[in-house]
Chains A and B, each alone.
Chain A
Amino acid sequence: MKPVAITGLGVVSPFGAGVKAYWEGLSGGVCAIRPITLIDTEGFRCRIAAEVPRPIAGSARRSRADRLALAAAREALDDAGVDRGDREDAAVIVGAVGGGMLEAEAWHWRRMRGSAEPVPRPLASSFPSAHADVIGSTLGLAGPRETVVTACSSGAASLAMATDLISDGVVPLALAGGVDALTRICFMGFNALRLLDPAPCRPFDRDRRGMSIGEGAAFVVLEDGARARARGARVYAELVGYGMTGDAFHVTSPHPEGEGMARAMRIALREAGVAAASVGYANAHGTATPQNDRIEARAMRDVFGEGGLLVSSTKSMIGHTMAAAGTLEAVATVLALVSELVPPTAQLETPDPEIPFDCVPRAAREAAVEFAISNSFGFGGQNVTLLFKRAG
């Protein structure tokens, strides 16, 4: 695979707007998982999540998710110094699941309870594909436009798909990322599956009891490496390989031996021509469900061997942000390479003896790493591994 340069980053996270706030929160080991304010949680066992704090930029006529996405996309394009002329050929690829469902749910709730309120116009934009149309139209991106839904790996898949377009010579530049606002469906669904911890999640802890959900958006600008260098762009890191696989096993449970996960990691290494021993850090999917963490660790052990690799789950601080997770975690991985600082796994008090890795408990760790992976897995056995190389 032809390496692709990462030249711009943009984030709206439970730490607020901006990459700076995001990295300060992550590197400081701050947990942003708190009582939910956006939706009614009465009667549910879990009542916490990582919400994006107010105010959120943008017109209130847009869905919350559109506003999160637009703010992160703008920051990424500005950060990369992409001007209007460059945008004409640029692709926009968005990983999304919930779309503008938060607002659609609110309307449906009211309607079912007898309200005669007419359907608000923004409801026509309540599907995931709306984000790409809004971003493309507002920011003047006129290249390929796609919305990918691979459940919780959507944000990572968007980067892989953008890499394909650049590697194939279709576009010189792409904006790719993921977004999800908190929705009732997501909150209720994971409650129904009994996958949520009533307390902030504890990935890789022996006593972990499930995940915490969150919301946010992240976008990155990916660029042909030679083009980026020619225009004097700052290159944060290179995306040198990825693997996308399917378990073909179960709609909600991962393959018990992590076969598809391991295959995604191996494909990413093979595509990049990078030895497993060269990888120093893994930003894990790390949801904190007993099953996911054990299986992911098994898959990583199969690929990388025990020990050596530093592993952390930034979901311990911002929760599982669904379609945004893969991109937020890719940004965290890139920033770990840039700053030579591995973000911690918060709330990790008693490491699970079945997890044979140093999971960087509670405090960030200084580490100069040349290669790092970011894992994202989703319902339906949708596995994505992104492999990044430090710039330089």
Chain B
Amino acid sequence: MNILRRVFSGLLLIIGVIALNFFLLQLAPGDTAEAIAGSMGGASEELLAEIRQTYGLDKPVLSQLFIYLGDVITFDLGTSYFYNQPVSSLIAQRIGPTILLVLSAIFLSLCIGVPLGVMAAEKPSGGLSYSVTLLALVGYATPVFWSGLMFVIFFASVIPIFPVQGFEDISLRKASFFVRSLDVLHHLILPAITLAIIYLAQYSRMARASMIETLSSDYIRTARAKGLSELTVVYKHGLRNAVLPIITLAGLQFGNLLSGAILVETVFNWPGLGRLIFDAILARDYPTILGVLIISSVMVIVANMLSDMGYRLADPRILKQG
């Protein structure tokens, strides 16, 4: 029941997002028909009128929106002016690499950041703790495109052990699935690390603060009084509580992660949604822009729902109130 209600409100939210994006794009300067004509090398007034009619651009804005909404429900996101392909198939080609990149970045930042923060919390004034704070500060302050470019320069010229461009090696197109997967992983390493750095910094910082607070609570003293080993006290009784705010943070940041992916994909020439929307913006390709925006809103909404459910599973106090 509860989940149904959430899904329903998620759907309403998506419709709202579509409408908002639609109007925002209407406000953008420039005439779409002229942009399309421009890409064909210019056109006469008659041709412009014909383009407007073909794409429905001569109708009132509101009816354009309703037509669009009606199409979206049937998964028809329109046709790209620039690629001359259905937007949905463009997105289908690109969504895989982006999800792979974003999930790897989350995985990396959680798997490295959280343990780092926990270890730092065990000795809040120790050397490791200060290193984590420093690392977090540097990581957080470094722009993604800059660290990405530095990686590209370093691994392209100094130690070329990782590929710095693209998603896979075209010469391996005919190789076995296993070899190709390894190749994709090899390509994934640098973009994923680049995207993970900022979040690694945030999660380690958050884990440290949350863990320090947790370790000073009464139930940790109880756990020690039971005779449990320090390892069990910290990683079972402590971490399970300290991880709760991190789950929330990870869900909330999924959107930021997607926007970070645009930069990373551009720097590393990663063929994902980020690059798609980047090119679409340059080409004024409104259907593609709108399509990618819709898909990313859906992904953000789904991520938030998942983190919410994760939180409910991890914290019994919330489960019962729902």
Partners in one complex: no
Interface set of A (CB-CB < 8 Å, partner B): none
